[in-house]
Structure 1
Amino acid sequence: MTGELEQMRRIKLFSQEHCRNILKMRKHYEHKIHATSKNKEDFLDYIEYEKGLLKTIRFRRSSLKIGEKMGDIEHKIMSRIKELYEMISQRYRDDTSLCLAYFKFCKVANYKNAAAVAISNMLKNHSHNAEIWQVAARWYAYDRKEISTALSLICKGLTMHKDSRLLYTEAIQLEIYNALDGNFQLKVNPEELTDSQKLCLEKLQTYIKEINNNINDCEYCIELLNYLVDYNFTTPVQNSLIEYLMINYSNRALTWNVLAQRDWKGQRNPMDTDHPIKSIETKLGKCISRYKDGLSKVLPEEKEQLWSYFINCLIDVRQEDNKIAVNLKTDSLREALEMAFNDGFLNEKHYIQWLDLVDDKDKIEILKRGIEQLPQSVEIWKVYLRTQILSDNKQGIDVVFKAGVKALQEKALPLWTGVIRYHLLASDDDTLEKLYKEGVRQPAEVSDSLKPEFIEWLAVAKGMRATREQYLLLANEKPYCKELHVTMSKLEATEIEFNFPSWDKVHELACAQFGEEDVDVWINRIQYYMDFKRGIVSKTELQQVYTDAQNSLPEMLFLTFKDKYYAMTSQWF
């Protein structure tokens, strides 16, 4: 390695000191990989170090504009990495990830012969892993342009992995790649197929038959169907998949969704008797009819999913950049939403979207329907309350708010927040205070947010005396709220003349209520002493806080407190 490092120094790629450090690190790693007790991590660490060094060299060459001695430096490092990979691969032959990493390195480094050997070894030692067959096939097909070898490997792999989605997908892609002479973008007229395309169709039909026999999965069939749709010469294979889906999965929402999507895109299904359709009106009508047909045939537990597919499809259709048949698209969506509601399968998101399609006078009726069908929907209640607020309907606000809080319970915080914001602008302080006092009696999910907010408002509206009185009431009521103490401490800090007895009480309560599980309350108390009571508080008082924390906190948390405590107080006394 000395000559290599000398070259780096001579061309001013690295300083002499840097080169010494590189040599030191390499000696360290060489010692570890040649020691009596070796482990995989030592080799991997060495490899990662050399790869990092290689990146650094390339960066410095670029920034310093040094192009000399690349063969003497970079190539030697690449060779060293290759040798390390060979050593570790031989030692840990059963480790698939190592073999793949070595192969990928050889591929990137353009070590063609080494990559071929790596592929051969992987197929010999890891044939039980379907991914290895895929990696090998893709290398032969796309790197070496030996498509026949790739297809042969995939077929051999499938004899061992009859249920591998990975290999079937790769096989189909390779067959199409071969049939289109390596051009996936080639457009093919189905009436003018070449011999290779006809052969490809025969092979694809065989694959589909094997897939149906060995995998028998609706989602995978649809995945393949959606892949093949881009290659119009595969229409017979697509038809086979659709026929299989209709025979075996006509009770699934996925099947009817893919058929309806094809209808909208103008793609022909094998059960159709008409010619391909081009007009938007006809395609949309056929798509809707297909969804409706599916809704009468799917399993009861699949119906909600199909309604969701149906409405989402119409929403997407309506948003497409096509000005033709806008009214038809909107009317179709309204009708579908109404039907889904009547069937009892309209979800929260679709209720909200329905509101965009109707006049203001109809929105309330739709929201009432939504609440009736989905009484636990936070979003629908939020929109319902917002409509009342925007119309400044005080009676309506009160009715919707109370009903929503009763229905949502611990999930009602958005309603409390919305109605408080309304009353901040529209009502007097007494009304708002009464509302806050109701809110802080709610479940913890609500009260934990409203308690700090209440005393902040109270400090502005009625002053610190009223705030301190209310704080003490809230602080001693369960469930306790840590943020209440934090907020009250901040309010005390804003006073021109500090009320230390009151402020001390805040930290005492915080430590008493949360000191058994929370380091922060103790640290906040120490920080308060340091920032505001330096020269007032004694070392004995600080030591007492330390002792109280030690008696309250679990041992591991106390160690954290102890480190912070001494770091904060070491320069005080």
Structure 2
Amino acid sequence: MADGIDRSVPEYEQMRTLKLFSDEEILKIKKTRENFDYKLSQPSRGIKDFVEYIKYERGLMATTKERIKQNKITTNHSILIQIADRMKKLYANALSKFTNNIRFWDEYIKFLQTFKYTKDISSAFDRILQFHSEKPEVWIRAIVWEYKENFNDERVKSLLLRAQQRHPESQKLYLTFFKIELENKRKSEELEALQHADIVYSSSKKKFTNIDFFIEMLNIVDKFSYASSIQQNILDDMREMFPREELLWHTLAQRELSGLSTVDCTVDFTGLIKSEDGVNKGEDSKVNLKKLKIEDLSAPAQHTLRKRIELCIQIYEEAVKLVNTNKMWNYYIDAMLELNSDLSTQSSMKRFALKKAFEGANASNHMSEDHYLQYIELLYTNNPKDDNIEKVFQKATKIFESSVRIWLLCMRYYIQDNNFKKLQDVFKTAKFLLGPKGSELWQLYLIYLKSCRSSEAHAEFERYINELSRQTFATFNVLKAQMLELLATTVNMKKARKTYGSFIKNHPVCYEVHEMMAELEAKQMIRDPESERYCLEMLILNFGKTRTDVWLRYMRFERYAGEPKNVSKLHKSALATLKPELLDDFSALYNFFSNGVV
């Protein structure tokens, strides 16, 4: 051993006596341990050396367990305990030297828990806190251990006090404290537990004013039916402190849906946001909230699903009147979409609720792009001839004029409706607004025009080609190449060559177009060397400095379909044109080409 004390003799004797390992295996185990011990005795030792040693001991323990099981050994022995003790000492030794490695500390705690070194865990946490007291999560782990596993109330109180002194602004620490006080009901009277939990809550709400903290508090107290008074206090405070927070209303509505009812349907809920005369007073709603008693908002816990849905919708409806924002409407619609994911019960009510939410968001101009797409899909599914679909499209494309998805859906709608005139108008507007982002719309329009046989569509197809030739954005390169292929296969090569000329006149630096045209020329039954050579020369002219493949392609053409004598000229030109860093790769490829491989 590294400390000079050999504690392994009994262990090896038991291995031999119980016939778990052969003499040769035991000798190998000794030798391996000696090698590890030697590494750990060196000044250059690192934490990796300890990790590898511990990993080896874990493997040895697994093997020992397996052989004990296989040999059906029932005799008392201490082999596994001795291996575990060795691992424990390795952890302790490592952590005395590498105190800053919090991950290794975590592994040590897990080890102690796994191998039932319960008495050592408290002191281990004390040591961690000596070096990592700046981490609230370490305090929380120690507190939870003492409370749930070690059942040491005095130590829990001590740690909580020290933790709060060290981290007075830690929300997680207060949440842990709050939960422990509520769980203490098992050890004390309900009233005492409630009083302690209420003190924690009262103290924390003075420190933290973000709604997420209160929601976390609410989620904790919901699990304790005896603590309804604190639950009511939290709900009251949330309503008073965050009347214009979207998350407040979303939380209240979701609680109704989950059966955690806080609103009686016989109560006029608009009292939360309106004065007695029914007029919305905006900020004055805080005053109304203060006057409203929580008991007046308590509803029976046994609400039916239908009633829960009604109350949920009621809250969302009132919420969007007070907090008329995109975020609030998004919460509302998302909740109704989730509700509609299961239509096995109350399907009509759920569909109506979703439709109502969509209509309200659309009318208030607070609909997101995704929700517009879903709304239109809903309208179309219900009735493809619904006049509202066009109206919604008009509004959506005005609000989200740069949305490719909305314009695409709009075009598909008119394609399905076979309304060529409306489709033309939509495409004309969309291509102007989208610019370089509109290539998908051009693609869809081309597919449609290909399927039409009318003279009007034919004329539009010619205009389409002319307009496409004027597009200089790189996003249109693939579409232009596809157009050349379409013309070559459905019209003739003469038309394709003419279109190719117009394409490269306006935008010559277009690899896909030159490459496609060269490929089309090469596929002709009777190849036109001059036309094909022109495409290859354009590739060289525009990409000869940065691409070796264009040179190899040109040379293959000259060797097999053009003038073989030109190959050497092209080789010299390539060496003079390509960037220096590409010359080695090009020379290697040229050697393959010369030998007929490429």
- The answer to whether 1:206 aligns with 2:229 is no
Aligned to 1:403: 429
Q: Quick check: 1:436–1:450 contact (8 Å CA) kept in 2?
A: no
Match of 1:350 among 371, 377, 396: 371
| Rounded Cα–Cα distance in structure 2 between residues aligned with 1:524 and 1:24 | 63
Task: Sort the Cα spacing of 1:385 and 1:242 in 2 relative to 1 into closer, same or farther, 3 A.
Answer: same
- The answer to whether 1:481 aligns with 2:502 is no
Q: Secondary structure at the match of 1:442?
A: coil
Q: Give deviations 1:121-180, integer Å, cap 9, x for gaps.
A: 102222221111122223334444546644653443123212212222333344444436
Task: Sort the Cα spacing of 1:540 and 1:66 in 2 relative to 1 into closer, same or farther, 3 A.
Answer: farther
Q: Quick check: 2:336–2:354 contact (8 Å CA) kept in 1?
A: yes
Match of 2:447 among 415, 421, 425: 421
Aligned to 1:232: 225
Match of 1:252 among 241, 245, 258: 245
Match of 2:477 among 433, 443, 448: 448
Task: Sort the Cα spacing of 1:421 and 1:109 in 2 relative to 1 into closer, same or farther, 3 A.
Answer: farther
Q: Secondary structure at the match of 2:296?
A: coil
Larger Rg: 2
| Rounded Cα–Cα distance in structure 2 between residues aligned with 1:396 and 1:139 | 69
Q: Quick check: 1:485–1:506 contact (8 Å CA) kept in 2?
A: yes
| Rounded Cα–Cα distance in structure 2 between residues aligned with 1:78 and 1:515 | 68
Identity of aligned residues (%): 21
Task: Sort the Cα spacing of 1:313 and 1:23 in 2 relative to 1 into closer, same or farther, 3 A.
Answer: same
Q: CA deviation at 1:313?
A: 2.2
- The answer to whether 1:337 aligns with 2:349 is no
Q: Give deviations 1:268-314, integer Å, cap 9, x for gaps.
A: 2564626525245544443333234333433x7xx221111122223
Aligned pairs for 1:4-153 within 5 A: 34-37=41-44, 42-44=46-48, 47-48=51-52, 51=55, 54=58, 82-146=88-152, 149-150=155-156, 152-153=158-159
Q: Quick check: 1:451–1:484 contact (8 Å CA) kept in 2?
A: yes
Q: Which moved more, 1:562-571 or 1:418-427?
A: 562-571
Task: Sort the Cα spacing of 1:507 and 1:260 in 2 relative to 1 into closer, same or farther, 3 A.
Answer: same
| Rounded Cα–Cα distance in structure 2 between residues aligned with 1:28 and 1:492 | 71
Aligned to 1:190: none
Q: Give deviations 1:67-108, integer Å, cap 9, x for gaps.
A: 799x99988876665555434322232343332333334434
| Rounded Cα–Cα distance in structure 2 between residues aligned with 1:540 and 1:158 | 82
Match of 2:334 among 312, 321, 324: 312
Task: Sort the Cα spacing of 1:327 and 1:476 in 2 relative to 1 into closer, same or farther, 3 A.
Answer: same
Task: Sort the Cα spacing of 1:97 and 1:82 in 2 relative to 1 into closer, same or farther, 3 A.
Answer: same
Aligned pairs for 1:457-496 within 5 A: 457-464=486-493, 466-468=495-497, 470-471=499-500, 473-475=502-504, 477-478=506-507, 480-488=509-517, 491=520, 494=523
Q: Which ranges of structure 2 fall in alignment gaps of 5 or more residues?
A: 2-7, 264-292
Q: TM-score, normalised by structure 2?
A: 0.73
Task: Sort the Cα spacing of 1:100 and 1:430 in 2 relative to 1 into closer, same or farther, 3 A.
Answer: same
- The answer to whether 1:273 aligns with 2:273 is no
Q: Which moved more, 1:46-55 or 1:448-457?
A: 46-55
Q: CA deviation at 1:389?
A: 0.3
Task: Sort the Cα spacing of 1:306 and 1:509 in 2 relative to 1 into closer, same or farther, 3 A.
Answer: same
Aligned to 1:189: none
| Rounded Cα–Cα distance in structure 1 between residues aligned with 2:137 and 2:85 | 27
Q: Quick check: 2:122–2:142 contact (8 Å CA) kept in 1?
A: no
Amino acid at match of 2:51: I
| Rounded Cα–Cα distance in structure 1 between residues aligned with 2:510 and 2:80 | 62
Aligned length: 540
Q: Which moved more, 1:221-230 or 1:397-406?
A: 221-230
| Rounded Cα–Cα distance in structure 2 between residues aligned with 1:395 and 1:75 | 85
Q: Quick check: 2:558–2:567 contact (8 Å CA) kept in 1?
A: no
Match of 1:289 among 310, 314, 319: 314
Q: CA deviation at 1:416?
A: 1.6
Q: Quick check: 2:555–2:567 contact (8 Å CA) kept in 1?
A: no
- The answer to whether 1:242 aligns with 2:271 is no
Task: Sort the Cα spacing of 1:368 and 1:60 in 2 relative to 1 into closer, same or farther, 3 A.
Answer: farther
Cα RMSD of the aligned pairs, angstroms, is 4.8
Q: Secondary structure at the match of 1:234?
A: helix
Q: Quick check: 1:151–1:175 contact (8 Å CA) kept in 2?
A: no
Task: Sort the Cα spacing of 1:60 and 1:566 in 2 relative to 1 into closer, same or farther, 3 A.
Answer: farther
Q: Give deviations 1:511-552, integer Å, cap 9, x for gaps.
A: 654566x6xx3256548868996996867855753553334x
Aligned to 2:289: none
Q: Quick check: 1:151–1:174 contact (8 Å CA) kept in 2?
A: no
- The answer to whether 1:549 aligns with 2:578 is yes
Q: Give deviations 1:391-431, integer Å, cap 9, x for gaps.
A: 11111211121122223223223322221121222247775
Amino acid at match of 1:268: T
| Rounded Cα–Cα distance in structure 2 between residues aligned with 1:501 and 1:248 | 80
Q: Give deviations 1:222-264, integer Å, cap 9, x for gaps.
A: 2332343343333222222222212221121111111222233
| Rounded Cα–Cα distance in structure 2 between residues aligned with 1:80 and 1:128 | 31
- The answer to whether 1:376 aligns with 2:402 is yes
- The answer to whether 1:217 aligns with 2:196 is no
Task: Sort the Cα spacing of 1:412 and 1:571 in 2 relative to 1 into closer, same or farther, 3 A.
Answer: closer
| Rounded Cα–Cα distance in structure 2 between residues aligned with 1:416 and 1:501 | 32
Q: Which moved more, 1:364-373 or 1:303-312?
A: 364-373
